[in-house]
Amino acid sequence: MTTASASAPVGVALDAMGGDNGPAPLVAGAVAAVRARPDLTVHLVGDRERIQAELEGADPGLRPRLPVVAAGAVIPMDAHPAQAVRATPDASVTVAIRLVAGGGAAAAVSAGNSGATMAAALLHLHRLPGIARPAIGTVLPTPAGPSLLVDAGAQVDCRPEWLCQFAHLGIAFARHGLGVPRPRVGLLSNGEEPGKGNQLVQLTHRLLVREVPEYRGPVEGRDLVAGTVDVVVSDGFVGNVALKTAEGVADLLFRTLRTELTRGPQARLGALLLRGRLRALRDRLDWRRTGGAPLLGVRGLVFVSHGRSDAVAVAHALLGAAAAAHEGRLIAALLAAAPTGAAAAAGATAAGTGADDRRLGTDRWT
């Protein structure tokens, strides 16, 4: 984790009650983040007493940059997202996103119910012009640098026009969030040939050819981490399955390496000699160090983290959110990413008003 030099202050709201393991790893990650970045303030949103108990051992000098914002409820992981957001307006994730909407924070991070995070963002931040549905972007490591998978789980049933919108959002984030000057776009399919794929993939391919100059054609699952393209577009069902598969393979790789490198004295000696390079490999492939996944398509910066996030993952998610907020151009780029043609027509009827987004809040976000 690198330490940033002091600059203009930036505030990030953290849902300190979301996640699988309670507030302990979330608060610990917030402490690590403010220690690493002197201009960062993390607003810890949730149960005041539980959060303050977790802050007891923190450096007193950091406490002013770790204010606690009270929230009276937590949305469980298994709750119906939209129903829970409507029924508990004082839930920690909702309060965190309202801080962004009201200007009290520049970004929000939650490791809780991702559907509830999206429903709250739609309700209080609303959608970008021309965007019918938001999508989750996940940063993946490749030999050529980071790539972006979008959608990674927000919209499991999609239309071709929505996937085209995801491509425009992904291009904007890759350019201004990942520093890729000329992002290349691919469409996740079961083959590189245009004739392969289901009906959604084939219709989306034709639309991307017409409306997205950066489109390079269909890509396969192996291209997610090959660096073939910089933005991989998919519906949320296929994207989430592909993401979880990649994470599982990475976990298996490191478990197997750990077992083999401790099998006997020669193996342990080899592991000792390779320790520095193995650590570098671990850090490069560690999902915890990629930061949170941006919720693309809403009028504000919201990042979704794994429910199983530990302090390392939380710290990197907060630092990534702070970097995006401090960079400043990302929101402007996303606002300018409005599609044209058929994709724009699909988004124009759906985007813009708070009433529309309150209606969308009745959908089953997963």
Say whether pLDDT at 345 is over 60.
no
Q: Which of these, 183, 186, 184, 188, lies nearest to 220 by C-alpha position?
A: 188
227 class by beta-carbon count within 10 Å (0-12 exposed, 13-18 middle, 19+ buried): middle
Q: Please check whether residues 130 and 16 belong to one and the same domain.
A: yes
Name the phi and psi angles at 130, rounded to 5: 80, 5
Q: What is the mean pLDDT of residues 22-37?
A: 95
DSSP per residue over 191-206, as a string? SSSTT-S-HHHHHHHH
Name the phi and psi angles at 354, rounded to 5: -60, -35
Q: Please check whether residues 69 and 174 belong to one and the same domain.
A: no
| Per-residue pLDDT tens over the stretch 95-136 | 999 999 999 999 999 999 999 999 999 999 999 988 999 999
Going from the C-alpha of 241 to that of each of 29, 164, 238, 244, the distances in angstroms are: 27, 20, 5, 5
Q: Please check whether residues 146 and 281 belong to one and the same domain.
A: yes
| Per-residue pLDDT tens over the stretch 171-212 | 999 998 888 999 999 999 999 998 899 999 999 999 999 999
Say whether pLDDT at 279 is over 80.
no
Q: Please check whether residues 254 and 313 belong to one and the same domain.
A: no
pLDDT bin (cut points 50, 70, 90) of residue 150 is very high
User: Is 342 a member of any domain?
Assistant: yes
pTM: 0.85
Which CATH number fits the domain that encloses residue 14? 3.40.718.10
Say whether pLDDT at 266 is over 60.
yes
User: Is 332 a member of any domain?
Assistant: no
Q: What is the mean pLDDT of residues 240-258?
A: 85
Q: Please check whether residues 268 and 204 belong to one and the same domain.
A: yes
Q: What is the mean pLDDT of residues 230-244?
A: 94
Q: Please check whether residues 220 and 93 belong to one and the same domain.
A: no
Query: Cis bond leading into 283, ω under 30°?
Result: no
The pLDDT assigned to 187 comes to 97
Q: Please check whether residues 168 and 303 belong to one and the same domain.
A: no
User: Is 202 a member of any domain?
Assistant: yes
The pLDDT assigned to 3 comes to 47
Pairwise pLDDT comparison (254 vs 214), residue with the higher score: 214
Q: Please check whether residues 82 and 124 belong to one and the same domain.
A: yes
Q: Please check whether residues 207 and 152 belong to one and the same domain.
A: yes
The pLDDT assigned to 51 comes to 96
Q: Please check whether residues 219 and 272 belong to one and the same domain.
A: yes
DSSP per residue over 74-136, as a string? ---TTS-HHHHHHH-TTBHHHHHHHHHHTTS-SEEEE-S-HHHHHHHHHHHT-BPTT-SS-EE
User: Is 180 a member of any domain?
Assistant: yes
> Which domain does 195 fall in, by range?
141-288
Q: Please check whether residues 93 and 212 belong to one and the same domain.
A: no
User: Is 216 a member of any domain?
Assistant: yes
Residue 19 near residue 77 (C-beta atoms within 8 A): no
The pLDDT assigned to 5 comes to 45
pLDDT bin (cut points 50, 70, 90) of residue 277 is confident
> What does pLDDT average to over the chain?
86
Percent of the chain residues topping a pLDDT of 70: 88
Return the number of other C-beta atoms located less than 10 Å from residue 166's C-beta.
Answer: 36
The pLDDT assigned to 88 comes to 92
Percent of the chain residues topping a pLDDT of 90: 61
The pLDDT assigned to 355 comes to 45
Say whether pLDDT at 271 is over 70.
yes
Tally the domains of the chain.
2
| Per-residue pLDDT tens over the stretch 287-329 | 677 778 999 999 999 999 988 889 999 999 999 999 888 877 7
User: Is 19 a member of any domain?
Assistant: yes
pLDDT bin (cut points 50, 70, 90) of residue 344 is low
Q: Please check whether residues 51 and 150 belong to one and the same domain.
A: no
